[in-house]
Structures are given as structure tokens and as C-alpha cells.
Structure 1
Amino acid sequence: MSKVHKVILLIEKSRAFGRGLLHGIVQYSNFHGPWLFYMEPEINKKSRKHPYEWIGDLEADGIIGYTWDTNLIKAIVSLGYPAMIRGLEKPTLNAYCIVTDQVAIARTAVEYFMELGFRRFAYCGFDDMIWSQQRGENFSKIVLESGFKTYLYKQPKTKRFRSPDKEQVIIAKWLISLPKPIAVMAGNDDRSQDILAACKIADIKVPSEVAILGVDNDELICGLSYPQLSSIALSTQKAGYEAARVLGKLMEGQKVAENEQEVHVSPLHVVTRQSTDIMAIEDKQVAEAVHFIRNHSKEVIQVGDVAEASGLSRRTLEQRFRKVLAHSVHEEIKYARVNQMAKMLIGTNLSISQIAWSLGFPYTNNISRYFKRQKGISPLEYRKKYAPK
């Protein structure tokens, strides 16, 4: 009988990022385990007993951690247990990394806002959080590369002004000072809620004056807000599965290849809800054309169909499209179609040929070439890289 491995999970489970990791870990264990899991006892949380005071007593076989606590990370590494840690800067002998692709997340946000027609950008995060700093820095850099500037929110230095009720008033004053309309990227979905509350305090309209985009796609946080909050969905479930797979190899004493020593959390797509459901395009007919394209992304449409829907001649629409969005109508159609296919590759179990058929492509080879030109990888590679197991 094979050994049942004991695995400590130091993962916060009240938010989407942690829950996504846990879903992937459990999925791996169901297929390849079973494993026996240990999470921090509630009594320890109430007594504020630090995790490194009890993890060494469990004689576990491995640890998966989600923490930025440098003392806890050092304690885990010093135990010598096989470990996968989000927050570890670089792989060590027995501990490997779960890494969030902050550049790709920022790029997803910028490209999304640009497609909506925004040319003013802001970022609101948490100054003391490394991941939030990285997210803001990358967002600002990519916005600058696109020829625009980013307005950055700076938190108050005094801790007593950082309680939600006090800081939301400060965020409201910052939002009032910004030019409108403006696209605001939030550090995560919790921060999106703060920005939304600040908009209500300042009587700022969302999304017509301020469009808000968060990260993590926490469906409870986003769905319970009004208006509901848009967010970038991440591949946390896939990352949890891969982290468990690598940990399994470590616990079995198997060799881990260099390219397996970092498990990546990547952006999947933007889940659009009410907080960004607007086209910040002054040319109303171009905005109508973009809406038409995105509302018909599952259908085979031509440039002529878009021109008819917008009430413009094909030539006039093309000219105005290039002037406003700097690309052609056909490129916008391709962008919308490929994004629709990407969502179906991740969110359904349909085969690539079934997806091709549903989107009106008669041949799988055609859609594969079409997809690869836009995303840089084939549909099969995209599904393998991002879809949950």
C-alpha cells in the first residue's frame, strides 16, 4: 500500500486566489493521492500563535504556502520539508516558487482599457504589499509605453487613516482630482470595492466617469457590489494543480526539472461586469460598431455587416476606426473572435473542432492558424497552459 502523504496548507481561503489554489491542489490529490491535509487550527488563530510555532510539530511530508511573511518563509525553508511557496523569491534546495505573472496581468488590464477607448489611466493599490507595488509599476510602465501617463494613488502614511471608512474618503478626494473619464486598475477585487465606495462618497458615476477593473475575479466580492465589478480572472486552479504535482515529485524523491521549479499564475481573461461596461469613445458610431462586433463574437460577421449596423459606409467606418482605435475593423473582429474562443477553451470541455464549428469555422486548421496569429500559441497549447485539469 502506497504511503499517504501529510501536507500542510498555509493558504488563506476566504478569497478567490487562495480558494483557486486549493481547488487545484484537491483536484490533484483526488487523482494521484489521497493526501492528508492540515490547515492552521482555528484555536491558533484566536491565540495569535504564529504558524512556525506548530508546523514543525506535525512531521509533515510537504508544505504548500501562500504568504509574504519573510519570517514564515525562512521557517518553512529551514525545516527542510519539500515545499511550494508563493512569496519565495527564488527556488532553494527543497522549496520551489509559485509566481504571479504581474507583467501579463498589467498588460491585460491596459489592453482591455485601450480597447474600450480609454486614454486616461490610474492605479490604486496597497503601498505596503509587494505584489501590489509590482502590479502598479508594471501597469504604469505599459501605459507609458503606449504613450500615456498613470495617476498613482498613494496611501496615507499614518496607519489610523487606513481603516476602510477613513481611507475611502481619502480615495474619494483623489478620484475627484483626476481627469474624466478615466480607467482605474485596482490592486485586487478588495481594492475595487474601496474605489467603488469612494465613488459613491464623491458622487462619481461608475463606469461613465470612472471605470474600475480589479484582479482575481472573486465572484462573491464582484457580484455583491453595485454596480457589479469587472475583474481579471487568473489561472489559480491550474497553478494549484501544478504546485501539487511538483510537490508530489519532491515528496517521492524524484528529480524536478529546472523549468518546473516555478509554477506560474497567469491572467486568463477579463470578466466584464457593470463597472467597465462602457465604450469611452467619443465617436458614437465607432463605439456602436465595437459594441456590435463584441455582441456578435460567436457569429461569422464581415466588415460590411458592421458598417450597416453603425449606419456608415464601409470606407468611412474604416477611416474613423483607424483614427480612433489605430487598427482596422477586421482586426477588431479577429480580436473579439479569438477572445471568445479563448474563453471557450478554458471554460468548456468542447473539443477544438466543436468550438470551431460553433463559431462558424468549417475547418479546425483554419481556426488554429487564426488563433495562433493572435495569441502566439495554438489552441491546444493555450488550453494545456491555462485550463484547469
Structure 2
Amino acid sequence: MNRSKATGRRGRPRAINASLARTPPRVAMLVETSTSFGRQLIEGVAQFVRENGPWSIYVEQRSIYDPPPTWLARWDGDGLIAKAAYEEVANTIRSLPMPIVDLNEQVLGLGRPLVFNDNRAIGAMAADALLQRGYRQFGFAGYADIYWSDQRLLGFAAAVEQDGGVVHRFHSRSRPQMRYQHESWDEEIATVGQWLAQLPKPVGVLAANDFRAVEVLDACRRQNIAVPEQVAVIGVDDESVAQAMAYPPLSTVVPNATRMGYLAAGMLDQMMAGRPLDEQAVYVPPLQVINRQSTDLIAIDDPFVAKALRFIRESACLGITTEDVLAHTDVSRSTLQRRFRDVLHRTIHDEIIRIRMQRVTELLSSSELSLAGIAERSGLKHPEYLSAVFKRQTGMTITAFRQSLGMR
């Protein structure tokens, strides 16, 4: 046996590499397991740990507004990832000495690095989805004095008003943030229904989250308001429980919760390695709008434009051209182009590119596909053309966009 492989000089055991002997850091996660969003945050952390760990992680079953666990104040761990959804949890976190990354979207100013949704971008994405369906009247159903709801409204209203639309706003009565969904269901539905009944129709409504959207759908049924013919509804979160209850099936804006969890874990890893981060807030943009039956109509009076838009949305990423759209609608180029400009203020080609760019952004945000793979799936054919169009449409390179999401 060649002992030099097992021992050092004079037969003494060699020192084990310090990085291999390191005890895995002990990390606790104070994130709700009761929502799809919370579970996806945890999945993002788990992905980082699989790639860079190991960590010794403690996770317990929680809902959003559970009190802080009794062990937390005296816990002597190495790091914490938490959502401080209300002051009691926030106060406990403020007192802890270990590295902490916060994921909450309600209690600000904890002095800890923060990763959270770009809620204004969520509102703007929903507005864009409704604007592209031709809506000019809009509603927002939110929660009073809830930070993330207010931010979604601001993004929604800014995008709508920039395009000349009008936003009609509804908020529940102010209430303690721990009880923002604790109103009587019948009382709440009746109030929402009264608001919906007086809105001009057709109207596109963004609900602050999917549970609020389910209330809007129920209120529409009680008021005999047709969805989506009179009221189109979009929620936020793609929450599995709300989606199971929604009728008709609910369109929704999908946050990039997995990416948020991954970035939070990466920040905590740096801090535990002795590389402190300045207090900072990382805003993570949403992934996409999933269009389901609750928005499955185009609010455009012009039948030729409506037919062309539906065809473009279904086929843009298959490589169609303006000629294909003209053939599908059976109308002259000059007539359809004029109607597009009158209704949408853009050309047929502009609309095809816009839909393709939505697909490109989705794939860049949620996949590790090569540029060639993304170009093929978005109907842009060549990576060079994809890069040029993306820079022209967004003002940034694909590399810069991916870096903004914490991707390589």
C-alpha cells in the first residue's frame, strides 16, 4: 500500500482540508408553508443549498400571521431567512444578532437586507395585459393600508393612465394588517358587488391577490355580471387554493418567488461567510401573466382588429408575418393597418414583436435556455436578431437583464 496517499511524513495523518471539515451552518426559515408563494420561496432557498451547501436548515409549518416561535429569541444559529409580516415578528428579528435576510413586503425599515416582489412591476404587467385586450376602463380591488397592495395599485394606475385609461379603485375598510382578510365573507362580497355594479362596462379589474380576485368573481355572479364579457379579472400569485376555488378559471400575474428565495439564500451565504452586505432592497420582477377564462375576451369593438389580435397572441411565436395576419382576417393591408393604429396606436408588426418579447422575457426569467433556444421558441429565428430586438425594445442587453435577476 502506498502510505503517502493516506498519511503525511513519518506516518502522521495529514490535516484535512478546512473547507471539508467545516460544520454546515445552521439556518432557520421563518416563511409560511401555507401559501404557494411561501412554498416557492422555500424551494428557491433549497435550490441554492443544493448547488452551494450543505446547510442544516430548520423549517416548521407556518401560516403568514403565526406568532414568532418561542425558541427564536434565544436561538443561537448562524443565519435566518424570514418574512416579518407584522410588528411582533419584526421586533423579534430586530433584536437578533445573527445574519438575517428579510422577505417581508409589509413591515419596512428593519435594517436588514430585503428581497421582495417588484410590486409596481406586477401592477404594470397586469395593466399591460388588459390594455392589450383593448380595455379603457379599469378597476383595482385592493386592501387599505397594505403596502404591497398599495404598490400594485401604483404600478397598475401609472401604466393605465399613461395609456389614457381610467382606474376605479376599491379598498376594504382599514383594518389591522393581521386581519386584512377577516371580514365577514357575505358582507365583503356585497360591498365588492356594489362597487362592480356601478363600474362602466366593459372593465378590466386587477385584484391585489388571487384571494381578492375570487371575491370579485363571486361578487360578479351575485350581481349577474358576466365574466369576462362585462368584467375581466386578473389576480396575483397563481395561488393553488384560490385557483381551485375560482370560477371561471382565473388569470393571474405570477411572481418569481423561486428566484426571490434563491437570491435571499445567496445573500445570507455571503453574510455568514463574513462578507457583510449594506442594507439593501432587491426588487424581483414578476414572471408572466397566465391568461385563463376570466380574461379570455378582447374588449375591442372592431371585429377585424379583435380577430387579428387573437390570432397574433396564439401564433406570434410560431414565426408568423403580417401577411399571415392579413390572410387570417381576410381584409386589405391598408384597412387593417389603419384600424390597428386607430385602436391600438401601433402596427400589426409591432404587435407581433410585442408578443414575442413577452415570451422572450418569460424564458429569460425562468429558464437556463441558450439564446438559440429562446430565439427558436419565440419566433425570432436567430440569436443575433433576438439580441438586437431585445435591446431596441427594452433599452438593455440580454446579459444585463439576466444579471438584474441574479442569473449568470
1:187 match: 208
Any conservation in 2 of the 1:235–1:386 contact (CA below 8 Å)?
no
Partner SS for 2:282: strand
Higher mean alpha-carbon deviation, 286-295 vs 363-372, is at 363-372
Amino acid at match of 1:331: D
1:30 match: 50
Q: CA deviation at 1:59?
A: 1.2
Q: CA deviation at 1:298?
A: 1.8
Q: Distance in 2 between matches of 1:202 and 1:272?
A: 24
1:15 match: 35
Higher mean alpha-carbon deviation, 154-163 vs 62-71, is at 154-163
Q: Alpha carbons of 1:41 and 1:68: their partners in 2 closer, same or farther (altered >3 Å)? A: closer
Q: Which runs of 5+ in 1 are unaligned?
A: none
1:204 and 2:225 aligned:
yes
Q: Once the two structures are superposed, what CA deviation does each residue of 1:336-361 show, in whole Å capped at 9, x if it has no partner?
A: 12222333334444321133245554
Higher mean alpha-carbon deviation, 132-141 vs 77-86, is at 132-141
Counterparts in 2 of 1:202-281, with a 5 A limit?
A: 202-256=223-277, 258=278, 261-281=280-300
Of 301, 314, 317, which residue of structure 2 is paired with 1:298? 317
Of 327, 337, 340, which residue of structure 1 is paired with 2:346? 327
Q: Once the two structures are superposed, what CA deviation does each residue of 1:247-278 show, in whole Å capped at 9, x if it has no partner?
A: 0111121243x5x8323221121111111111
Counterparts in 2 of 1:301-312, with a 5 A limit?
A: 301-312=320-331
Higher mean alpha-carbon deviation, 116-125 vs 136-145, is at 136-145
Q: Which runs of 5+ in 2 are unaligned?
A: 1-20
1:351 and 2:370 aligned:
yes
Of 176, 199, 202, which residue of structure 1 is paired with 2:197? 176
Q: Alpha carbons of 1:161 and 1:8: their partners in 2 closer, same or farther (altered >3 Å)? A: closer
Q: Alpha carbons of 1:123 and 1:362: their partners in 2 closer, same or farther (altered >3 Å)? A: closer
Any conservation in 2 of the 1:168–1:195 contact (CA below 8 Å)?
yes
Partner SS for 1:270: strand
Q: CA deviation at 1:330?
A: 1.0
Q: Distance in 1 between matches of 2:405 and 2:213?
A: 25
Q: Distance in 2 between matches of 1:135 and 1:37?
A: 33
Partner SS for 1:79: coil
Higher mean alpha-carbon deviation, 135-144 vs 271-280, is at 135-144
Identity %: 33
Q: Once the two structures are superposed, what CA deviation does each residue of 1:189-242 show, in whole Å capped at 9, x if it has no partner?
A: 111111111111111111111111111122443254221111111111111101
Any conservation in 1 of the 2:68–2:88 contact (CA below 8 Å)?
no
Higher mean alpha-carbon deviation, 266-275 vs 8-17, is at 8-17
Q: Distance in 2 between matches of 1:277 and 1:33?
A: 44
Q: CA deviation at 1:98?
A: 1.6
Q: Distance in 2 between matches of 1:224 and 1:375?
A: 37
Q: Distance in 1 between matches of 2:406 and 2:299?
A: 32
Q: CA deviation at 1:312?
A: 1.2
1:67 and 2:84 aligned:
yes
Any conservation in 2 of the 1:161–1:167 contact (CA below 8 Å)?
no
Q: Distance in 2 between matches of 1:96 and 1:18?
A: 18
Q: Alpha carbons of 1:141 and 1:338: their partners in 2 closer, same or farther (altered >3 Å)? A: closer
Q: CA deviation at 1:319?
A: 0.5
Q: Distance in 2 between matches of 1:125 and 1:269?
A: 20
1:142 match: 159
Amino acid at match of 1:15: T
Q: CA deviation at 1:283?
A: 0.4
Q: Distance in 1 between matches of 2:378 and 2:156?
A: 33
Any conservation in 1 of the 2:33–2:61 contact (CA below 8 Å)?
no
Q: Alpha carbons of 1:139 and 1:348: their partners in 2 closer, same or farther (altered >3 Å)? A: closer
Higher mean alpha-carbon deviation, 13-22 vs 171-180, is at 13-22
Q: CA deviation at 1:387?
A: 8.5
2:15 match: none
How many equivalent residue pairs? 381
Q: Once the two structures are superposed, what CA deviation does each residue of 1:60-100 show, in whole Å capped at 9, x if it has no partner?
A: 211111123123212212112211113353473xx211232
Q: Distance in 1 between matches of 2:406 and 2:328?
A: 35
Q: Alpha carbons of 1:362 and 1:227: their partners in 2 closer, same or farther (altered >3 Å)? A: closer
Q: CA deviation at 1:41?
A: 6.5
1:112 match: 129
Scaled by the length of structure 2, the TM-score of the pair is 0.86
Q: Distance in 2 between matches of 1:114 and 1:328?
A: 15
Q: Distance in 2 between matches of 1:52 and 1:136?
A: 33
1:367 match: 386
Q: Distance in 2 between matches of 1:161 and 1:170?
A: 14
Partner SS for 1:297: helix
1:287 and 2:306 aligned:
yes
Scaled by the length of structure 1, the TM-score of the pair is 0.90
Of 101, 106, 115, which residue of structure 2 is paired with 1:98? 115
Q: Once the two structures are superposed, what CA deviation does each residue of 1:141-176 show, in whole Å capped at 9, x if it has no partner?
A: 332333232111132468898222321122112111
Q: Alpha carbons of 1:358 and 1:142: their partners in 2 closer, same or farther (altered >3 Å)? A: closer
Q: Distance in 2 between matches of 1:64 and 1:323?
A: 51
Any conservation in 2 of the 1:8–1:37 contact (CA below 8 Å)?
yes
Higher mean alpha-carbon deviation, 223-232 vs 359-368, is at 359-368
Q: Distance in 2 between matches of 1:67 and 1:77?
A: 10
2:102 match: 85
